[in-house]
Amino acid sequence: MEQELTKKTNILEGSSPVSLDQLPQQDYNILNLGPTHPATHGIFQNVLKMDGEKIIDAEPTIGYIHRAFEKIAENRPFYQVTTLTDRLNYCSSPINNMGWHMTVEKLLGVKTTKKVDYMRVIIMELARISDHLICNSVLGVDTGALTGFTYVFQLREKIYDIYEEVCGARLTTNIGRIGGMERDFTPKFWQKLKEFLDEFPKIFNEFDSLLTRNRIFFDRTKNVGGISAERALNYGFTGPNLRATGVDYDVRAMNPYSSYQDFEFEVPVGETGDCYDRFLVRNEEIRQSIKIIEQAMKNMPEGRHFVDVPEFYLPPKQDVYTKMEALIWHFKIVMGEVDVPVGEVYHSVEGGNGELGYYLVSDGGRQAYRLHFRRPCFIFYQAYPELIKGSMLSDAILTMSSLNVIAGELDA
Amino acid sequence: MLSTYFIVKIILVLVLFLVTLTMAAYSTYAERKVAAFLQDRLGPNRAGPFGLLQPVADGVKMFMKEEIIPNTSDKAIFILGPSIFMITALLTGVVIPWGPDINVNGTNYPLQIADINIGLLYLFGVVSLGVYGIMLGGWASNNKYSLLGSVRASSQMISYELAMGLSVIGILLYTGSLSIKDIVIQQQGMHWNVFYQPLGFIIFLVCAFAECNRAPFDLAECETELVGGFHTEYSSMKLGLFLFAEYIHMFISSAVIACVFFGGYDFPFIGKLGLSPNIFALVGVVVLFAKIIFFIFFFMWVRWTIPRFRYDQLMKLGWQILIPLGLFNIFVTGGWLTLKNYLNW
């Protein structure tokens, strides 16, 4: 009887989400890192088994802000899914928006014009810059240097001002439409973009010089949270975190979408895949993004800012009020009562964190039959326990922020 | 005569108390303003002109906050922690000579509360007592983050006190006195110790950062790792005492650096101006405070510029770099003095 009881308790312990193992643990300290901890940028829990300051084992728990986006998206007309993608990686929501638009366009078989592509490239590269800026400056904050963060935050503000000029929103942008952009870039947009590009190098170099060659920062991040290229590929890493290990995989270069083949840019790679390499790779990518934006500005083609997708692209307001067909289409689009072809598409874009993929199965009708977001953060976070085992508590914090795990994208 | 002596001392104690607290309070204001200046922000500017009443507002806020003592804590020690930290911080100011003597009716009144012949030793002793406040506070909170913070703080303080002690031995070797007043007087006329003991100064400065728990050595309370470090569980004025005592530490550290390495109230050519003794004393006080404020600014400047160390790197810096350097400094100074003695220079 007694034996049975102990057995039962053991099973109970085994099923609890935070138990680590059945060994006696008197020698170790269990530390709850999260769900609400200043260093976890977002909400996720890590139960660390610690020997003093050293991490012996870690058990991550996710799902604190799981909002079932994939399921919600399956019950919504396509154009309403854009707002859900905003809330995945909210540091670079335009990339998510564009990725979704392109997925639907792929399903519909719509070919966008160069003008639309270039406009999208500008917005997406701005989003990438803001994402990388936040990640790198927060890495600085986690090492204790707040000042660099405030410098680049001004830059991010400028980027958000530019978004605002395009779509009226700042963080969750819902930018662009299926079939193009909602309106052409205004002269004020170009002016703001020019101002941003003009002042960018000065501020960014200041930030760069504050951290990159700083001895303490170097010591803190070098050989911390490193991962080999092989392990990274096995986990399915993409984006800057994979490139930091030395693999030059970039969706923009490998599988160009939105006319990325027209642009000259380099894909920076690191060597060891540690925090410092990730930092450097992101910094260099920011510079490359600036280069891409400059090229797009220079070569911006003339033409319309949208292509003809009557199923999804709203007719002009003027026509809606005066023409019956336009009014009907407007009504159909807004109510989401448009049909799409039966099919199965996968489209991926190079998001702020890596390959952001949309797998869409359509059985015709107004909404997706099955929809899956390939969220890079979800994949990085699986590797997190392995990355921090055997390191110090401080390293664990840095590893988390340099992986740029964003709770919204992790939990979807 | 005895009563005058006591009255003067009591006045000095009260003035010092007030000045220390005011300096600490306005250091918090200065910290925000300096941080804002370095970070392209505005800083506090709502309370009073230029936000000058911000420290008052902060103090009121601290008092009005709810006092939370965790059920699982050791209550007596929980309260004792911040008290010890604050008391030891306030005790340190007594041995610092704040200026030259003031002469009233033919009697000299020193602007120093206690010119004890072991002034520097007293300072080290009291400062190292302060770590008990952090240790007890962190331990009594019964919180893992607090415990980690206080363990970090205590090991950091102990290792850096060693290096700090070693760094001033060079000075003691040729001043031959532990009294801070003697050390200051010997530096009059631009014979500042920093010119003779640059290595000692650098070691002392680094250790002062560590002793004050300031960045890059603020591991005990680094908010990104340990939430609030040793004061995670504290609220209301007990938290205020911890934070406040830290600024007092910074003020006193700056004063000690100014006195021991930068000639205290000495200033180039101040002796040649032909000032009357009392004016001279007042100018001396102003000069000392200018130096102190400069060092407080320096503390802040560093804090808002560089990242913090990791725990093992901190220990490595302390034990493998600063302590050997300190020993080397003693060796060189001692060798030089012996040679000087031998050759009768």
Q: What is the pLDDT of residues B116-155, one digit of tens each?
A: 888 888 888 888 888 888 888 888 888 888 888 888 888 8
How many domains are contained in chain A? 1
What CA–CA distance (Å, rounded) separates A213 from A203?
16
Strands A370-374 and A355-363: antiparallel
Own/partner contacts of A334-337, CB < 8 Å, gap of 24 or more, are: A335/A77, A336/A76, A336/A77, A336/A78, A336/A79, A336/A80, A336/A366, A336/A367, A337/A77, A337/A366
- Chain B: residue whose CA lies nearest to A218: B307
What CA–CA distance (Å, rounded) separates B120 from B180?
6
Q: Do A144 and B311 touch (CB under 8 A)?
A: no
**Which residue range(s) make up the domain with A218?**
69-411
Structure-derived torsion over alpha carbons of residues A86, A90, A93, A97, reported in degrees to the nearest 10: -30
* A151 vs B contacts (CB less than 8 Å): 39-40
Q: Do B224 and A140 touch (CB under 8 A)?
A: no
Is A214 at the interface with chain B, CB within 8 A? yes
Scan residues 68-107 of A and list those with Cβ closer than 8 Å to B.
none
Q: Do A146 and B39 touch (CB under 8 A)?
A: yes
Nearest residue to B270 (alpha-carbon basis) of B257, B256, B258, B282: B282
Q: Name B215's Cβ contacts closer than 8 Å, sequence gap at least 6.
A: A144, B209, B302, B303, B304, B306, B307, B308
Residue pairs between chains A and B whose CB atoms are closer than 8 Å: 76
* A150 vs B contacts (CB less than 8 Å): 39-41
Instruction: Please indicate, yes or no, if residue A14 is contained in any of the structural domains.
Output: no
Q: Do A216 and B311 touch (CB under 8 A)?
A: no
Q: Name A112's Cβ contacts closer than 8 Å, sequence gap at least 6.
A: A105, A120, A179, A180, A258, A307
Asked if residue A158 lies in contact with residue A198, where contact means CB atoms within 8 angstroms, the answer is no
Instruction: Considering only the beta carbons, identify the residue of A145, A392, A394 that sits closest to B306.
Output: A145
Q: What pLDDT, on the 0 to 100 scale, is given for residue A346?
A: 92
Q: What pLDDT, on the 0 to 100 scale, is given for residue B212?
A: 81
> Within a 10 A sphere around the Cβ of A399, how many other Cβ atoms?
26
The token pair at B220 is 């005990």
What CA–CA distance (Å, rounded) separates A163 from A149?
21
Nearest residue to A130 (alpha-carbon basis) of A329, A241, A282: A282
pLDDT digits (tens, 9 = 90+) for B206-238: 888 888 887 788 777 776 677 777 788 888 888
Report the range of poorest mean pLDDT among A346-360, B181-195, B214-228, B299-313: B214-228
Instruction: Please indicate, yes or no, if residue B46 is contained in any of the structural domains.
Output: no
Q: How many helices (H) and strands (E) in chain B?
A: 13, 2
> In a mutagenesis test of the B interface, which of A199, A394, A402 is the best target, namely the one with the most B β-carbons within 10 Å?
A394
Nearest-Cα distance to chain A for B330, in Å, is: 28
Q: What pLDDT, on the 0 to 100 scale, is given for residue B151?
A: 84
Tell me whether residue A240 is exposed, middle or buried, using C-beta atoms within 10 angstroms of its C-beta: 0 to 12, 13 to 18, 19 or more: buried
Q: With a cut of 50, say whether residue B29 has pLDDT above it.
A: yes
Instruction: Please indicate, yes or no, if residue B23 is contained in any of the structural domains.
Output: no
Scan residues 268-287 of A and list those with Cβ closer than 8 Å to B.
none
Instruction: Please indicate, yes or no, if residue B25 is contained in any of the structural domains.
Output: no
| ipTM greater than 0.85 | no
The token pair at A157 is 């503000």
Q: What pLDDT, on the 0 to 100 scale, is given for residue B223?
A: 67
Low-confidence stretches of chain A (pLDDT beneath 70)? 1-27
* B39 vs A contacts (CB less than 8 Å): 146-147, 150-151
- Chain A: residue whose CA lies nearest to B314: A216
Scan residues 120-149 of A and list those with Cβ closer than 8 Å to B.
140-147
Query: Tell me, what CATH number does A249's domain have?
Result: 1.10.645.10
Q: Do A53 and B38 touch (CB under 8 A)?
A: no
Scan residues 156-175 of A and list those with Cβ closer than 8 Å to B.
none
> Within a 10 A sphere around the Cβ of A111, how many other Cβ atoms?
10
Average pLDDT value over all residues in chain B: 84
Asked if residue B95 lies in contact with residue B140, where contact means CB atoms within 8 angstroms, the answer is no
Q: Do A39 and B144 touch (CB under 8 A)?
A: no
Instruction: Please indicate, yes or no, if residue A9 is contained in any of the structural domains.
Output: no
* B38 vs A contacts (CB less than 8 Å): 147
Instruction: Please indicate, yes or no, if residue B105 is contained in any of the structural domains.
Output: yes
How many domains are contained in chain B? 1
* A147 vs B contacts (CB less than 8 Å): 35, 38-39, 304-305
Instruction: Please indicate, yes or no, if residue A364 is contained in any of the structural domains.
Output: yes
Instruction: Please indicate, yes or no, if residue B181 is contained in any of the structural domains.
Output: yes
Instruction: Considering only the beta carbons, identify the residue of A32, A144, A220 that sits closest to B215.
Output: A144
Instruction: Please indicate, yes or no, if residue B61 is contained in any of the structural domains.
Output: no
Instruction: Please indicate, yes or no, if residue A18 is contained in any of the structural domains.
Output: no
> In a mutagenesis test of the B interface, which of A143, A210, A223 is the best target, namely the one with the most B β-carbons within 10 Å?
A143
Instruction: Considering only the beta carbons, identify the residue of B144, B218, B306 that sits closest to A216.
Output: B306
**Which residue range(s) make up the domain with B165?**
67-343
Q: With a cut of 70, say whether residue B164 has pLDDT above it.
A: yes
* B227 vs A contacts (CB less than 8 Å): 37-38
Is A207 at the interface with chain B, CB within 8 A? no
Nearest-Cα distance to chain B for A110, in Å, is: 47
Asked if residue B239 lies in contact with residue B62, where contact means CB atoms within 8 angstroms, the answer is yes
The token pair at A386 is 């392995």
∠ CA A205-A397-B130 to the nearest 5 degrees? Answer: 100
* B41 vs A contacts (CB less than 8 Å): 150
Interface residues of B toward A, Cβ cutoff 8 Å, are 35, 38-41, 144-145, 148, 215-216, 218, 222-225, 227, 304-313
Instruction: Please indicate, yes or no, if residue A396 is contained in any of the structural domains.
Output: yes
Q: What pLDDT, on the 0 to 100 scale, is given for residue A7?
A: 47
Task: Examine residue B216 and say whether the peptide bond preceding it is cis (omega within 30 degrees of 0).
Answer: yes
Instruction: Please indicate, yes or no, if residue B129 is contained in any of the structural domains.
Output: yes
Instruction: Please indicate, yes or no, if residue A73 is contained in any of the structural domains.
Output: yes
Instruction: Considering only the beta carbons, identify the residue of A37, A145, A394 that sits closest to B227.
Output: A37
Q: What pLDDT, on the 0 to 100 scale, is given for residue A22?
A: 55
Q: Name A106's Cβ contacts closer than 8 Å, sequence gap at least 6.
A: A345, A347
> In a mutagenesis test of the A interface, which of B150, B155, B224, B227 is the best target, namely the one with the most A β-carbons within 10 Å?
B224
Q: Name B341's Cβ contacts closer than 8 Å, sequence gap at least 6.
A: none
Is A220 at the interface with chain B, CB within 8 A? yes
Whole-Å CA distances, A394 to A76, A85, A234, A259, A401: 43, 32, 26, 42, 11
Nearest residue to B136 (alpha-carbon basis) of B49, B73, B181, B59: B73
> Within a 10 A sphere around the Cβ of A14, how many other Cβ atoms?
10
Q: Name A126's Cβ contacts closer than 8 Å, sequence gap at least 6.
A: A94, A159, A162, A163, A289, A293
Instruction: Considering only the beta carbons, identify the residue of A29, A147, A394 that sits closest to B305.
Output: A147
As a three-state string, the secondary structure of chain A is CHHHHHHHHHHHHHHCCCCCCCCCCCCCEEEEECCCCCCCCCCCEEEEEEECCEEEEEEEECCCCCCCHHHHHHCCEHHHHHHHHHCCCCCCHHHHHHHHHHHHHHHHCCCCCHHHHHHHHHHHHHHHHHHHHHHHHHHHHHHCCCHHHHHHHHHHHHHHHHHHHHHCCCCCCCCCECCECCCCCCHHHHHHHHHHHHHHHHHHHHHHHHHCCCHHHHHHHCCCCCCCHHHHHHHCCCHHHHHCCCCCCCHHHHCCCCCHHHCCCCCCCCCCCCHHHHHHHHHHHHHHHHHHHHHHHHCCCCCCCECCCCCCCCCCHHHHHHCHHHHHHHHHHHHCCCCCCEEEEEEEEECCCCEEEEEEEEECCCECCEEEEECHHHHHHHHHHHHHCCCEHHHHHHHHHHHCCCHHHHHC
If pLDDT is split at 50, 70 and 90, which confidence band does B167 have? Answer: confident
Instruction: Please indicate, yes or no, if residue B223 is contained in any of the structural domains.
Output: yes
Scan residues 356-395 of A and list those with Cβ closer than 8 Å to B.
392-395
Whole-Å CA distances, A225 to A139, A243, A244, A284, B172: 13, 15, 12, 20, 46
